[in-house]
C-alpha cells in the first residue's frame, strides 16, 4: 500500500460548524504533514508531526487543530472557520525528513 | 531561511517543442534535498524527482531531464518533445536536512498545445 488516503474529498461547512479532515497511511511513515493550497498558489505548510508529536506549527490560527492519534492517522479539526479558509487541504507523509513526500489527493474545503 | 524561486509563472509551447523550467533555491544548510512535483488539473501532486545536495549528476528519465548546479543554486527541469499530457503546474521544492519543512516555489504552469 503506497497511498495516502484523505477523507472526505469535498466538504462544505458554515462558519459555526465543527468538522474534521482525516488522513491515513499504512506505509510505516514516521512523519506526517498538513498543507493548505489556494487556487493558483503553491502548497503552504501548516503542521508537521514526527513520531506522533507535533514538531512544526507554522503559526496556524487556533481554529485549525491537528491531532495524531497513532502513527497511521492524522486529523485536522476545524472550528469557526472563515470564508478565506476555503482551500485544498493536502495531507502528506514520509519516512524521514528529506525523503520523498507522498501526498493524498486532498480535501476541497468550502466555507460559507 | 530556505527559499525557492520559479521565475516563470506560465509557459506555453506547441507539442514536440522542448521546454525548460527554471528553479533557483536558497539555503544555508550544506545538506539539503531538491524535488520536482507535477500537479495536473485533477489536483494530485505527482512526485517526479528527488536530489540530495551531494549528488550533482544530471538525471534523465525518458523525456524528462534535470540539471543540478550547486554553483548557481539551480535545479532546472527540461521536457523534451513535449506532449499535451505534460500540461500541468510544476513545482520545485526544497527540504533542509533538519526541521522537516518542504518548501515549494510558486510553480510554473505549463500549457502544451497540439
By the 10 Å C-beta count (0-12 exposed, 13-18 middle, 19+ buried), B114 is classed as: exposed
β-bridge partners, B47: B37
Nearest Cβ partner of A97 from B47, B95, B107? Answer: B95
**H helix and E strand count, chain A:** 0, 11
B46-62: per-residue pLDDT in tens? 999 999 999 888 888 99
The answer, yes or no, to whether residue A1 has pLDDT greater than 70, is no
3-state helix vs strand vs coil in chain A, percent to 5:
5, 55, 40
Judge whether residue A6 has pLDDT over 80. Answer: yes
For residue B15, count other CB atoms closer than 10 A to its CB: 13
* Cβ atoms < 10 Å from Cβ of A95: 13
Q: Which of A45, A52, A62, A56 minimizes the C-alpha distance to A103?
A: A45
> Over 80: is that where the pLDDT of B100 sits?
no
CB contact under 8 A, A97 and B97: yes
For the stretch A48-85, pLDDT in tens is 999 999 999 999 999 999 999 999 999 999 999 999 99
Please identify among residues 44-63 of chain B the ones whose CB lies closer than 8 Å to any CB of chain A: 44-45, 47, 50, 52
- For residue B10, the tally of other CB atoms under 10 A from its CB is 10
B13 within 8 A of B112, measured Cβ to Cβ: yes
Across the interface, whether the CB atoms of A100 and B103 are under 8 A apart is answered no
| Nearest residue of chain B to residue A37 (CA atoms) | B43
| Bridge partner list, A92 | A33, A103
Interface contact flag, B35 A105, Cβ < 8 Å: no
Pairing mode of beta strands A73-79, A87-94? unpaired
Of the candidates B58, B40, B41, B6, which has an alpha carbon nearest to the alpha carbon of residue B49?
B58
Which three three-digit cell numbers place residue A51?
513520531
Using a CB-CB cut-off of 8 Å, the residues of chain A touching B105 are 42
Neighbours of A58 (CB within 10 A): 13
Is B2 within 8 Å of chain A by CB? no
The rounded distance, in Å, linking the Cα atoms of A37 and A87 is 6
Strand segments (E) across A10-63? 10-13, 18-25, 31-37, 44-50, 53-57
**Do the Cβ atoms of B95 and A103 come within 8 Å?**
no
Mean pLDDT for B79-106 is: 92
pLDDT (tens digit per residue) in B6-58: 999 999 999 999 999 999 999 999 999 999 999 998 888 999 999 999 988 88
Amino acid at each position: 500500500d503506497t497511498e495516502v488516503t484523505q477523507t472526505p474529498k469535498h466538504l462544505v461547512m458554515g462558519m459555526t460548524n465543527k468538522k474534521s479532515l482525516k488522513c491515513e497511511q499504512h506505509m510505516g511513515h514516521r512523519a506526517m504533514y498538513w498543507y493548505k493550497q489556494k487556487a493558483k498558489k503553491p502548497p503552504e505548510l501548516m503542521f508537521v508531526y514526527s513520531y506522533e508529536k507535533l514538531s512544526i506549527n507554522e503559526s496556524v490560527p487556533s481554529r485549525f487543530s491537528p491531532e495524531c492519534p497513532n502513527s497511521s492517522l492524522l486529523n485536522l479539526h476545524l472550528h469557526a472557520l472563515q470564508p478565506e479558509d476555503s482551500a485544498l487541504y493536502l495531507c502528506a507523509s514520509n519516512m524521514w525528513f528529506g525523503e520523498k513526500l507522498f501526498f493524498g489527493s486532498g480535501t476541497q474545503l468550502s466555507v460559507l | 531561511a530556505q527559499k525557492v524561486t520559479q521565475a516563470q509563472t506560465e509557459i506555453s509551447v506547441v507539442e514536440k517543442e522542448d521546454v525548460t523550467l527554471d528553479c533557483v533555491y536558497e539555503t544555508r544548510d550544506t545538506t539539503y534535498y531538491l524535488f520536482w512535483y507535477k500537479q495536473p488539473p485533477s489536483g494530485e501532486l505527482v512526485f517526479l524527482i528527488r536530489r540530495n545536495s551531494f549528488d550533482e549528476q544530471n538525471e534523465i528519465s525518458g523525456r524528462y531531464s534535470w540539471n543540478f548546479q550547486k554553483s548557481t543554486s539551480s535545479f532546472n527541469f527540461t521536457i523534451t518533445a513535449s506532449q499535451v499530457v505534460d500540461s500541468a503546474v510544476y513545482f520545485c521544492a526544497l527540504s533542509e536536512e533538519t526541521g522537516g519543512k518542504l518548501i515549494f516555489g510558486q510553480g510554473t504552469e505549463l500549457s502544451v498545445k497540439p
